[in-house]
Structure 1
Amino acid sequence: MLKIAPASSTPNEINGFDEQAGEDAIQAAIGLRGLLRAEAEKGDVQRYPSQRVIDALTEADLWAVAVPKRLGGRGASATALTRMGAELAKGDPSVAWVSQIINGTTWVTSIGPDALQDEIFADGVPRIAGAFNPPGTATPVEGGYRVTGAWPYASAIRHTQWSQWGIKIVHPDGTEVPGNFCYIPTDQLVIENTWFVTGLQGTGSDTAVANDLFVPENRVVHAARSYNFVEPGKRNYGAASDYFAQMAFVHRTMTGTPLGAAEGLLAAVGETAKAKPMVGTIFARQIDSHVIVKEIGEAAIKIDAARLLIEDATGVIDAAALAMRVLTERERARNKAQANYAIQILGEAVHSLMNIAGSAAFNNANVAARYWRDFNMVARHFGNIPSVGHEVYGRSLMGVTPNAVPPFMY
């Protein structure tokens, strides 16, 4: 375990990641896989995780894995959080996604201004979720803003105490300032049931609505002073996690969910192939066919390669944070492309494995169906799309400007 610095750290007193805490979180996730599988159907039906699952993750302390210890988190690395997500996904990818959204958003809050941290973490580490697009409207008033907005894809919203939302500030003269965030207690919001989808059904990613709510100034993070902005005299600062590249961290760690779904599918298909007859052929079992064994081996090595790519990408983020170093534009472009390519080859492996599994695997009672549909949903998150990552890296290499994605988004 690396040494943890005092709570009143300064930028010159960097403290490292708690490697043991990260490993403990990964092992806890492995231990929960049976429960997650047992509760997954219930989560799908009600469209969000069961209370039994939420309580189990709470007891295992899996909601603030990367949040610094000064705030009550576990102080683990990006790589550890990603590995934990993969293990949860082998039980239920929807739960892994809920965990990632809360872990990621709560970490983002931990690098906000002192006044924000002081309020949000006053009574310990809360669970925080949110979304940024489409942005809500914030009208300046004395002491803060009146905020109105509707944010779809609000994963995990039913299981949080606070929520983080993208807003555009609209001044009386009509000028708009986009790219800001605000924090609202979740119980002040209205949740509209809009999450009726094929994959990740159990994430509760419904629409959260704010109707003319007052948000004080200290709960707003302005675009001009992003989360990585260090205000003069900042007290809540100095952990390794405070130096994570914000969007790179959030998007790389979420790859644990599709990785775990693919690894879970590989295990399920491999086990079935030991006994499943190969109808219409001379083979009594699928594994008697050299073609099937070859296809499983090829899918497995693609999944292994994807894990190497993903963990190398998170390792770069961890190393830069430990060195208190800002990733260059080229490093961020490559980091994104690398992880997006991992999603591409995971998709190839998943497609091949479902061909092996056959039509029976698409029955909702078959665990393979859950891995397949949930993988295909998360693989299409805007941060995971391979063609976008490839273009971002290509434009960076060729010096083509502007890049396809704004620099702060990768």
Structure 2
Amino acid sequence: MLHSRTKPSSDILWGFDEGAGNQVVEAAIGLRELLASNASRGDVQRYPTDEVIRALDDAMLWGVAVPKRLGGQGVSATALVRMGAELAKGDPSVGWVSQIINGTTWVTSLASDELQEELFSEGVPKIAGVFNPPGTAIPVDGGYRVSGAWPYASGIRHARWGQWGVQIVKPDGTQVPGNFCYVPAGDFRIEDSWHVTGMQGTGSDTVVIEDAFVPERRMVHAARSYNYVEPGKKHYGAPSDYFAQMALVHRTMCGVPLGAIEGLLEHVVKTAATKPLVGTIFARQSDSQVVAKEIGEAAMKIHTARTLIEAATMELDGAALERRTLSERERARNKAQANHAMQILQEASQTLMYVAGSSAFNNANPASRYWRDFNMIARHFGNIPNIGYEVYGRSLLGVTPSAIPPHMY
């Protein structure tokens, strides 16, 4: 249930709930074996199993970054990224679904008082969403008629609501981009389109909406988007209300590729104790100095990547606690830092798969899933290293405009 505060600004005094943050990470660790045992079934049906979803329900791993006023757990960005990494060690697809729904549901906690009260009235819902390509919203009395098709809707089969990017098309043909609308699951259909090599178990199918009515209260306008605070807003003041929208979503999703490669490292280290180094004199890989060097180097790269990612989320946490927004330069560096971590993880994954050998590409081998899933996540537009480097380089050089709009990083 939604809990209003008589003095919303007092929420900031609570800070992030470190105890809850530790609990969700420990809960994720406890689910790793279950997730791993369900991963193949999830890949075959192309979305998480009911058993996995119930386990995440029971562990309360949805809406963990949502503020407590809405029934969430109020954890930090750093706790969220750590939770995602642990889930990904069990199954990266489940980690991704968790991060997408957690991120989208948190974004909704920044919406208007009226929308918060509607969507969180019965507890924290599962909300999935896609902003691109945008659908169309035609103004009508009391709201809009919305139509569109949104691919890559991760977790949508388990969501109660969808958050969809739309451009408003006015009667004179003028288009206003950058808006979001909320549509209940009963008003859209899911098109079976998710046939991919990596992240097979995320259920990232296409959502189709055909002329659905969306009342005005469920539209978030670009001119007054999520980080806009209406004068007199009641449901506001928790630390998470001060996160920059896209920075939070993109940094915390880094936990999944991180966890995938940490899981790959654990698997390779375990098998090296018994797996022969075929074609050599070594009965065990662990007897080879070359293998030891490669594993040690990969492990250091993974450790470096975790350090970079967590430093980026800690910077977001610190700014939120100070009730300030990051400067453009800080956001650019923060993005490049996380993107650089993806490059380092890519290098580590290549090394580890050479150690694991050709048998690691058998679909029954856990290494195959970690490798496939990481390589897909690493190519999400928010993770691509060269874009992060260009954004930061342009910021340092004072070159405008940036490669992407500043609000996107």
Q: Structure 1-normalised TM-score? A: 0.98
2:237 counterpart letter in structure 1 = G
| Residues 11 and 239 in structure 2, CA contact (< 8 A), matched pair in contact too | no
The range that moved more, 396-405 or 280-289, is 280-289
User: Does structure 1 residue 177 correspond to structure 2 residue 176?
Assistant: yes
- Aligned residue in 2 for 1:126: 125
| Residues 277 and 283 in structure 2, CA contact (< 8 A), matched pair in contact too | yes
The verdict on how the C-alpha distance between 1:306 and 1:143 changes in structure 2, with shifts beyond 3 A counting, is same
Q: How far off is 1:8 after superposition?
A: 4.0
Q: Distance in 1 between matches of 2:304 and 2:179?
A: 37
- Aligned residue in 2 for 1:247: 246
1:258 counterpart letter in structure 2 = P
Aligned length: 406
Q: How far off is 1:115 after superposition?
A: 1.1
Q: Structure 2-normalised TM-score? A: 0.98
Q: How far off is 1:7 after superposition?
A: 3.1
Q: Distance in 2 between matches of 1:382 and 1:30?
A: 28
| Residues 101 and 127 in structure 2, CA contact (< 8 A), matched pair in contact too | yes
After TM superposition, list the pairs within 5 Å mapping 1:3-402 onto structure 2. 7-11=5-9, 13-14=11-12, 15-402=14-401
Q: Distance in 1 between matches of 2:11 and 2:69?
A: 13
Moved beyond 2 Å, runs of 4+: 5-13
Q: Distance in 1 between matches of 2:360 and 2:186?
A: 40
Q: Distance in 2 between matches of 1:8 and 1:238?
A: 11
Q: Distance in 2 between matches of 1:136 and 1:392?
A: 28
RMSD of the TM alignment (CA)? 0.9
Q: How far off is 1:359 after superposition?
A: 0.4
Q: How far off is 1:13 after superposition?
A: 5.0
Q: How far off is 1:279 after superposition?
A: 1.1
1:122 counterpart letter in structure 2 = S
Q: Deviations over 1:241-261 (max 9, x none)?
A: 000111100000000000000
Q: Distance in 1 between matches of 2:37 and 2:143?
A: 46
| Residues 4 and 235 in structure 2, CA contact (< 8 A), matched pair in contact too | no
Q: Distance in 1 between matches of 2:62 and 2:391?
A: 32
1:262 counterpart letter in structure 2 = I
| Residues 25 and 83 in structure 2, CA contact (< 8 A), matched pair in contact too | yes
1:330 counterpart letter in structure 2 = R
The range that moved more, 6-15 or 24-33, is 6-15
Tell me the secondary structure at the aligned position of residue 326 of structure 2.
coil
What is the identity percentage for the equivalent residue pairs of Structure 1 and Structure 2?
70
Q: Distance in 2 between matches of 1:356 and 1:295?
A: 8
Q: Distance in 2 between matches of 1:380 and 1:390?
A: 15
Can you give the 5+ residue segments of structure 1 that lack an aligned partner in the other structure?
Answer: none
Q: Distance in 1 between matches of 2:48 and 2:15?
A: 33
Q: Distance in 2 between matches of 1:33 and 1:93?
A: 10
Can you give the 5+ residue segments of structure 2 that lack an aligned partner in the other structure?
Answer: none
Q: Distance in 1 between matches of 2:138 and 2:6?
A: 35
2:5 counterpart letter in structure 1 = A
Q: How far off is 1:12 after superposition?
A: 6.0
Q: Distance in 2 between matches of 1:304 and 1:120?
A: 39
The range that moved more, 303-312 or 12-21, is 12-21
Q: How far off is 1:84 after superposition?
A: 0.2
Q: Distance in 1 between matches of 2:186 and 2:81?
A: 29
